[in-house]
Amino acid sequence: MSVGAYFSGKRIWIIGASAGIGAELARALARQGAELVLSARSREALTALADELRAATPDVSVRVEPLDLADRASLAGVVDRLAHAAPFDAVICTAALYDPARVADLDPKKVDAMVRVNLLGTLDVARLCPPRIIDGGQLVLFGSVAGYFGLPGGQPYSATKAAINNLAETLAAELAPRLRVRLVCPGFVRTRLTEKNDFHMPAAISPEEAAEAVLRGLQKRGFEIHFPRRFTYIIKLLRALPYAISLRLTRRIG
């Protein structure tokens, strides 16, 4: 089955659609005939994206629903507004904040914001959105390769992503068999967030490549979608090693 045939006519809600992988998913899904609801904090960015999609694909169905995952009531309000619309084939949550730093150098306010959006916001998505998904549909959460193993300089982003990896594992059992929970773990993707990194990003890919990998993965039956595999398998191996070896390796990185 082609990607276009698979997503044609499917209703998909993307939370975190204003930039990066979320925006590229919206562009790819619009080309393939999906019906979209787009959410993020910035109404202006969402409206510009929706206008772009309508100009490129005049028949596309796009609805803009701004929300802020840092505000629990914001997501709940959108869920209420969508209560009378048709249910979704998939809800995809890509939203995240990122601010790399060593633990001793953390800004507490930025830490609070990352935990509120990345972890607690995703928990709210997992709590409120499943009733709006059809039987057999997909709840897609974005963890990260950064959540596989604690690496220097990645906290607290890595900690929130490790929690999401764990949350998705839990939900895969709790929501089965009615829903399929999918965990997406990207490696380095060149976005406005990773522009903050001051180090070489091994095997970094574009948001377009990341979106293509996600859409390929959503057509399959597996739990996890991870990419690029030439990098992700290395970190998976690091996680599988005894701590006596893996921690010695990460100290060298640090």
pLDDT at 202: 86
Phi, psi (deg, nearest 5) at residue 13: -105, 120
HSE-CB at 98 with a 13 A cutoff on CA atoms is 21
Q: Is the pTM of this model over 0.75?
A: yes
User: Facing residues of 35 across strands?
Assistant: 11, 61
What beta strand segments (E) does the chain contain? Answer: 11-15, 35-39, 61-64, 88-93, 133-142, 180-186, 224-227
pLDDT at 244: 96
Instruction: Walk me through the domains of the chain, giving residue ranges and CATH numbers.
Output: 3-253 (3.40.50.720)
pLDDT at 73: 97
Those residues with Cβ within 8 angstroms of residue 62's Cβ, 6 or more apart along the chain or in another chain: 26, 30, 36, 37, 38, 50, 53, 54
Q: pLDDT averaged over the chain?
A: 93
250 pLDDT exceeds 90? Answer: no
> What's the rounded mean pLDDT across residues 88-103?
92
Per the CB < 8 A criterion, the answer to whether 138 and 89 are in contact is: yes
The string of pLDDT tens digits covering residues 208-248 is: 999 999 999 999 999 999 999 999 999 999 999 999 999 99
77 pLDDT exceeds 60? Answer: yes
> What's the rounded mean pLDDT across residues 108-118?
95
HSE-CB at 9 with a 13 A cutoff on CA atoms is 2
12 pLDDT exceeds 60? Answer: yes
